[in-house]
Amino acid sequence: MFTKDDLSDAAALVHTQIPPTPQYAWPLLAERTGCEVIVKHENHTPTGAFKARGGVTFIDWLRRTHPDCPGIITATRGNHGQSQARAARAAGLRAVVYVPHGNSVEKNAAMRSFGAELVEFGDDFDQAREEATRVGKEEGLFTVPPFHPELVRGVATYGYELFSAHPDLDAVYVPIGCGSGICGTIAARDALGLSTKIIGVVSDNAQTAKLSVEAGHLVETNSAVTFADGMAVRVPVKEAFDIYSKGAERIITVSDDEVAEAIRIYYHDTHNLAEGAGAAPLAGLMQEKAQMKGRKVGVILCGGNIDTGWMVQVMQGQTPVVG
């Protein structure tokens, strides 16, 4: 998908705005899992999530290829919207962002703070995305899809950093929403010529990616109700499916209870905040720790933007309920 030079150039661009994030080996996580665990801290970006990288490369591409474009429109559950608003407004563009009703209050506030014109529409991400696409055509705004080569090229820079620092990783666990994160990780591994196994993680309440891979074709689900909102996707993205269906070792499911426990583990063992999707890779490793014993494993802490109320519930031993 990308060459090593492609990702090196992308990293140089991303790093003009976003410093490389750390990848730390936490000893308490090693004791808990029985393997060496390298956490890629994408919760340390300027937006608190990995999506910030794709915003830099996408808006740079848009300004070069569509110089007369007045602005962008997109749909999100939060992290993608922060990324696009941040990069678009810095380039002097409008940024219209659609979210579903009931979206994270604190992510909504963060998007507005980065300059987004926020619109609530629909009951879930996919309904918001359809409306954003329609409005974008009416208003002459460029519709930013959830998956685009320039988004993936930017996102892949976290994998490029991780694999450059730790080329000997046996496996990496990555969450799947629309798929840019896992596809970027696969792209970085392949560009560097490594053999690391990449394991996708989805919510057991949002299994569209897993079901699609098992069926060999795209499978939509009727709902995607999980407090791990970064994985709450009903409709798979074909371009992403074409990559992760071939490049991932397997895709596993985790429950909301397992995700909540992983958030608690991150806090107890590393004192880092993880949102639901950010904790899902660790939940996946915990589920498979017997087969990972003694190995060197990466987990992508893709974001730390969890609402305060949910974090309080989680730290009290509860699992947030949505829907």
Q: Which residues of 81-100 are buried (b: 16+ CB within 10 A; e: fewer)?
A: bbbbbbbbbeeebbbbbbbb
Q: For the chain, which residues make up each domain, given as ranges?
A: 4-50+149-315, 51-143
How big is the chain, counted in residues?
A: 323
**Which one of 3.40.50.720, 3.40.50.150, 3.40.50.1100, 3.40.50.300 gives the CATH number of domain 51-143?**
3.40.50.1100
At 58, the pLDDT band (50, 70, 90 cuts) reads very high
On the question of pLDDT at 263 being above 80, the answer is: yes
Structure tokens at 290: 């017997």
Residues 254-268: what's their mean pLDDT? 98
Three-class SS of the chain: CCCHHHHHHHHHHHCCCCCCCCEEECHHHHHHHCCEEEEEEHHHCCCCECHHHHHHHHHHHHHHHCCCCCEEEEECCCHHHHHHHHHHHHCCCEEEEEECCCCCHHHHHHHHHCCCEEEECCCCHHHHHHHHHHHHHHHCCEECCCCCHHHHHHHHHHHHHHHHHCCCCCEEEEECCCCHHHHHHHHHHHHCCCCCEEEEEEECCCCHHHHHHHHCCCCCCCCCCCCCHHHCCCCCCHHHHHHHHHHCCEEEEECHHHHHHHHHHHHHHHCCCCCHHHHHHHHHHHHCHHHHCCCEEEEEECECCCCHHHHHHHHCCCCCCCC
User: Is pLDDT above 90 for 114?
Assistant: yes
Phi/psi at 179 (nearest 5 deg)?
115, 0
Residue % of the chain over a pLDDT of 90: 95
Stated pTM of the model: 0.95
Per-residue pLDDT at 125:
87
pLDDT(245) > 90: yes
Confidence band, pLDDT 50/70/90 cuts, at residue 87 = very high
Asked whether this chain's domains 4-50+149-315 and 51-143 adopt the same fold, the reply is: yes
Residue 88 pLDDT class (50, 70, 90 cuts): very high
Are 50 and 79 within 8 A, CB to CB?
A: yes
- Name the pLDDT band for 1 (thresholds 50, 70, 90): confident
Rounded CA separation 5/43 (Å): 26
Cα 232 versus chain centre, distance: 11
Please, what's the b/e burial string for 277-306 (b: 16 or more CB within 10 A of its CB; e: otherwise)?
Answer: bbbbbbbbbbbbbeebeebbbbbbbbbbbb
Q: State residue 21's pLDDT score.
A: 98
pLDDT band at 307 (very low <50, low <70, confident <90, very high): very high
Tell which CATH classification among 3.40.50.1100, 3.30.430.20, 3.40.190.10, 3.30.470.20 matches the domain 4-50+149-315: 3.40.50.1100
Strand partners, 39: 24, 299
